[in-house]
Structure 1
Amino acid sequence: MRARDGLLLLGSGTMSIDRFGLSAGTIRLASGVSFLVDPLRANKLWGDPEEPTPTAQLLLRSMGYRDALIGALLAGAALRGKNTRGWFLASAGADVADLVGGLSVHSELKPSQQLIGLGGAVVGIVTGLWGAVRPARRTGEAPEPA
């Protein structure tokens, strides 16, 4: 393996790791796992200082499963050198749903929730769309030197 070039030797062929896809997938996976392991703490991290109702806890866990699944599949595709565009679109779509839901209760959110929750969704949408439309590296093309 030549880590400097981002190449992974697998059998007799080489595959290029999608580093951006791996990073985005790992972040989404970690966020999802945090909502599964400790939804109350994760909810506070995202700007809500109060304890959520049982129904809200159910939704937090559902969001955790969704994010962990999308993140794991995005990271897995990136590691295998597979096309990640569809997983980036799924990631952006999840964030669009979060943004639309957040905007519907915007006036009821505390400023920290507006900034972190809605701002995070916007960053996720931009990241997902960029990941889906960015130029593809041609097979066999060496990465640009750092």
Structure 2
Amino acid sequence: MGIDKAALTAGSIRMASGVHFLISPEQANRLWGDKEPPVPTARLLLRSMGYRDALIGGLLVQAALRGRDTRGWFLASGGADAADLLGGWSTHHQMSKSQRFVGLGGAMVGIGVGVWGATRKRR
């Protein structure tokens, strides 16, 4: 099998986002719509999310480059975004409009990409 370009693209984006959260959680948090500096416990959670996204994205990239079945990693990616959406939904009334749009909207797009990738026919 050849390289799965869709999986390579999706995995690279997730991995890059995860690395960004690891290297600079404050800057990544601003990019996702929060204008205030995060408190220490929030920085811990941002880094945890970074590890998760770097790992899932990296494994999706690895499977894509090796011509392996990527559907399971797409499902993991969509599941991570579903967890983010569920967690964010409970606090959406406390978020600014931009935080809701970027954070919750991004999670919905990620779920869609994950479901699409997980349900495609194997190449």
In the other structure, the counterpart of 1:51 is 37
Q: Letter of the aligned partner of 1:86 in structure 2?
A: G
Note the alpha carbon deviations across 1:25-59, whole angstroms, 9 max, x for none: 00000000000000000000000010011000000
Root-mean-square deviation over aligned CA pairs: 0.6
5+ residue gaps, structure 2, are: none
The CA distance in 2 between the partners of 1:135 and 1:88, in whole Å, is: 13
TM-score after normalising by structure 1: 0.83
Match of 2:92 among 106, 110, 120: 106
Match of 1:82 among 50, 64, 68: 68
TM-score after normalising by structure 2: 0.98
Match of 2:21 among 29, 32, 35: 35
Note the alpha carbon deviations across 1:99-142, whole angstroms, 9 max, x for none: 000100010001010000000000000000000001233xxxxx
Aligned residues: 123
If you compute each CA radius of gyration, which structure gives the higher value, 1 or 2? Answer: 1
SS at match of 1:32: helix
Per residue, is there more strand in 1 or in 2? 1
The CA distance in 1 between the partners of 2:11 and 2:40, in whole Å, is: 28
5+ residue gaps, structure 1, are: 1-14, 138-146
Seq. identity, %: 66
In the other structure, the counterpart of 1:144 is none
